Structure 1
């Protein structure tokens, strides 16, 4: 038995889930794309929690491929799990770091008791990871790491039809 993986085209900040994953930058202090949207909609409580992390356990920021949780502020979620995706490189294989973002986010979610987790398409925006490859890595990592005893659903919330189609193809290939 595997954890159901669902795909939704839409805005991750509008999702109801126990945990929403943020494609953060290493500073944890907000940014553009998904990170900026989560901070804007979630409100100042998320930024305050991130500042506390920077003042204590993550003084140098969050390393690529790692994950850490904060409050969700005004989001319809119990927690935000921040993970830093790798920047895509044509000359260096960083696939393991992208897979680690998903595994580590699920590890943190399990520690929090979060049974539903919503992911964006990590690293596919400003970090330029090719969508089809990112989808393949993400789906495979989630399939391997999501324990059905711990999770009821993992949801990929995808910003447009192209992203949805890429993740649907990756899911179909993984389940074949």
Structure 2
């Protein structure tokens, strides 16, 4: 079950997860400072499946504000194709991949196929892919795959995500003891 964290939602309606600590710089403009909200509220604004996967892996994640126009949900979305696709479905963007749709991310209004929408939104987020062998950066992991397959040196390389500039790092609870909020 998925419940967006809206202004009208009560704490009991939202999923409960242990507090997730975030480490911010002195110039932090993170959501919790903008809204004067405590850090332990932020996990309620991240898709529960994303939080669960993060807790299972023990690794931090980078999440981004949802900027779909017309239906603001107040949630954060992980910068991966699968996470963005799942988030779009929660916004009711469903149907065959060949169907035409319009991107409304931050006022974009580009017309494209539904199957391309998640990859397109990753460009809005500034998420890129880097070759683990030579460090070359491409706009998407599928474009980087062409490089890996055509390069003799990089044929064993993998795509590493390069986070976009508007990302927020969230840490699993296992990191909480050593990573307090720094100002």
Same fold (TM over 0.5): no
More strand by share: 1
| TM-score for both structures, normalised by structure 1 | 0.29
By relative contact order (CA 8 Å, sep 6+), the higher-ranking structure is 1
Structure showing the higher helix proportion among its residues: 1
TM-score (norm 2): 0.28
Larger gyration radius, structure 1 or structure 2 = 2
